[in-house]
Structure formats: C-alpha cells, structure tokens
A and B are shown apart, each in its own frame.
Chain A
Amino acid sequence: MAYQLYRNTTLGNSLQESLDELIQGSLNTYRFCDNVWTFVLNDVEFREVTELIKVDKVKIVACDGKNTGSNTTE
C-alpha cells in the first residue's frame, strides 16, 4: 500500500490524498523522514467509551516497528 503511494507520486499523478485530508479534515501538517511520520492535527476529538477529550492541537509521531509504534501527544 505504501508502495502504491510512491508509485503514484513518481508518475506525477498523485491523488493528493494527503491534501484532500488537509482540505476536508483537520490535518494541519504531515511529515515523513527517516521512516518516522509526524502529523499535526487540529480540533481533535478523542473518544473512548467512557469519556470524550477535545483538543486544539495534536502532534502524532509514529514509526514503523514490529512491536509498537511510538506515539506522543502534546
């Protein structure tokens, strides 16, 4: 799946899904470098069965890993 994304961009015919997300959703920025994804989202709702948390800004840092990706929020 990840390869498909790159295949599209190398052909220059990217669907720009990321930008679609930007326009429609709350994704502010994204970054991928050294196999680490960094996302910044705005106006996010974290919903759990019991509670609901609303946040103005969320930064998600994610890496590949066999065990777990690391996630931090601020």
Chain B
Amino acid sequence: MPSAPSRAPRPLAYWVIPQLPTADPLPMDEETETYLELYLDQCAVQDDFVPPRSPLFSPVVPYVYTPNPSNPETTFNSHLESKETSGNFSSVDLSFLPDELTQENKDQAVIRSKHETEENSETQSQQSRLPLPSGQDVGPGSDSSSLSNSRSHLHPGDANSIQSAPAKPNCNSSPLASITPMTPMTPVSECCGIVPQLQNIVSTVNLACKLDLKKIALHAKNAEYNPKRFAAVIMRIREPRTTALIFSSGKMVCTGAKSEEQSRLAARKYARVVQKLGFPARFLDFKIQNMVGSCDVRFSIRLEGLVLTHQQFSSYEPELFPGLIYRMVKPRIVLLIFVSGKVVLTGAKERSEIYEAFENIYPILKGFRKA
C-alpha cells in the first residue's frame, strides 16, 4: 500500500451547487433522474470549462453542497454534505483556464501547484464550496480526458451565496468561481454517459425493544425462522423488494434496496410490521452500511496490465476469481473489474463515493483497453 501522498489534493475554488429543495420529496423512482437532469442542465451552462482531474489515489475531492437538509435522516441527501472545503481563493492558479481541450500537460503542472495551495487552505465548513479536482494524472497511456472531464466536473453556481440558497442555478458571480469544477451528484463519466447504477443497499436500524422472534415468525407473512441455522427472522416485503434480518435484540438489517430512500422506506415497513404485532418498535439510528453499484465500460480490459502497473491496489488471481479486485484508497471503495468491461463497486457509505470511484477508475481502464 503506497503511502498516501503527503499533499492530498484539496479544492481551490468551488462550485456552489444550489441545494435541491429538500422540502419537496422526490418520488423514489424519479429521484435519480431528477438529480441527473439538474446536473446536466448545469453542465450545459458550463460547457467550456474543463477541470483538471485528480490523480487516482487521491481522487477528486467530492463536492460540497448547501447545508444539510433539516431532516438529518434523509440519506439520499447525504452525498450533498460537505466533505472537504477550502475557502481560500487567493492562491488559485488559474493558468489552466483557457483552452481546456488541449491542456493536458499544463494540467499536470497546475495540479501540482494546486495541491500545494489546496493543502494550505483546506478548511471544513458548511459552506457549499466545491473542491476543484486536481488535474488528471492517470495511468500510462491515458489519453486526454480533459475534454471528457469537462462534463463530469462542471457545475455552475454562485460562489458567494453558498448557504441555504434556494435550489436555483445562478450564474457565477466571478470567473474564478465559474471555473471551479465540481463533482456533480450524478456525474457523467468522462465524456461517456456511464453512470454506475446502484444494485444493492444494506442498512441497519435499531427497533429498540426486545422481540419474540417465534411470535413474529408465526404471525407475520413471508417470514422464516430457523434458530438452529440462524438466530434471526428473515422477512421479505414486495415493495420495495427487500429482505430483512430481524434479531431478538431489536436490531434489524435491511438488504436488497436499490436506493437510499427505498432502503429507508423498506426498513420502516418492517418496523411497522413488527409494531403491528404488538411490539413497541421504534426507528432509531437508521444507517446505510454498504452500497453496491455496477456499470459497463463497454470495452474489454487488459487485467494483467492493470495489475502490473497498479499492484499496490490490485489483486488479480484468475485461478481464484476471474475479476481483478481493485482497492481504491480514496474514496475507500473496492472495485471488481472484469475482462468484459463490467465493473462492480462496493464498500460505499454514500452514493457519491460510488460515482467518485468510477470517475477515478474510468480513465485508468481506458488506458488498459484491449486492442
């Protein structure tokens, strides 16, 4: 495992993304599309600018949004929370601004200088400052994705009115702010519109009361309980299609949902079932523990080459498992990469980590494209 770079990339300037209206509950199945539309609208406004890409192991620092919604339990807004911020624009090197499309080499130099400034000025704040992803520094043979980067890192915003601004994209008040790229909520990856799709979400919640599992298994529909095999009731519901493991301590695991909101809704439904059976069930500490996503880069990949050049992160034993296991450091995501070009991403606590990890790996995979 390589030592983390002493200077992690830090944002220099930020896009401010207007916060999505949290009072307006998005229908679950439209949630992703709404985010995507919002993002793409904003991308279209800023089509000229190309942000540099971050090096792989210090990937793009995720975006920062307007303050968290008043309801802290809204997990699907979790990726809106600020992760890293920096408020110091004074030392921003803007030499990369013009002519992004041919800026690859310059980006490298700019990235380095940016890293230094970023390091100095990093602060955590609730302000929706977006990190400026440092330039691309990907594996060998990576072609320019400067052009493609533009799509994935552009986002208009008002640099000043970061906070609690209504969800309304504003024109940038300064050219500086307008340059700042930002990782969007649903990033378009690298000039191809590949967005990893979430396949599974595992979450836990505490019902905060002791449960009689036998009673639950006997009275609930669609429940299994075999204490000799496993000390929990396995219950399923159809909508959202999920499975829950309910333990006698009152703790519950909910799996199988395809989105954060669905996971939460399903957990609530299970809690209601338990409640209707007569237990004083509550809904404490709902937390998403793992998110799994997958996508297809649509070209074959030379896994051997990848494991040779990224051996600190990769493990590839075709005799054991046909996929290469790539353990990305930042974000801390594990990717299963297959020769066919299919990629599975797992280990995320937030949706943005999945997107970020894919953004990071895609240029690398392009460098190991077969033929």
- Given A12-B202, A18-B236, A19-B238, A29:B222 Cβ within 8 A: yes
**Of B24-32, B80-88, B110-118, B226-234, the one with at least 4 CB within 8 A of chain A:** B226-234
Q: Does B313 contact A (CB under 8 A)?
A: no
Q: How far is the CA of A32 from the CA of B223 in the complex (A)?
A: 6
Q: Does B109 contact A (CB under 8 A)?
A: no
**Of A3-11, A43-51, A53-61, the one with at least 4 CB within 8 A of chain B:** A3-11
Size bracket of the A interface: 20 to 34
Residue pair B245, A12 in contact (C-beta under 8 Å): yes
Q: Which of B220-262 contact A (CB under 8 A)?
A: 220-226, 229-230, 234, 236, 238, 241-243, 245, 253, 255-256
Name which of A12, A13, A23, A35 has the most chain B CB atoms within 10 A of its CB: A12
Q: Does B218 contact A (CB under 8 A)?
A: yes
Q: How far is the CA of A18 from the CA of B255 in the complex (A)?
A: 14
Q: Which of the residues B222, B245, B255 comes within 8 Å of A31, measured between beta carbons?
A: B222
Q: How far is the CA of A3 from the CA of B229 in the complex (A)?
A: 8
Q: How far is the CA of A35 from the CA of B217 in the complex (A)?
A: 12
Residue pair A35, B226 in contact (C-beta under 8 Å): yes
Q: Does B330 contact A (CB under 8 A)?
A: no
Q: Is the interface of B mostly helix, strand, loop or mixed?
A: strand
Name which of A16, A18, A22, A33 has the most chain B CB atoms within 10 A of its CB: A33
Q: Does A14 contact B (CB under 8 A)?
A: yes
Residue pair B241, A16 in contact (C-beta under 8 Å): yes
Q: How far is the CA of A31 from the CA of B241 in the complex (A)?
A: 17
- Given A12-B245, A19-B238, A32:B255 Cβ within 8 A: no
Residue pair B218, A31 in contact (C-beta under 8 Å): yes
Besides A31-B217, A32-B226, 11 more A-B contacts (Cβ < 8 Å) are A6-B230, A9-B234, A12-B243, A13-B255, A19-B222, A19-B243, A22-B222, A29-B222, A31-B218, A33-B214, A33-B223
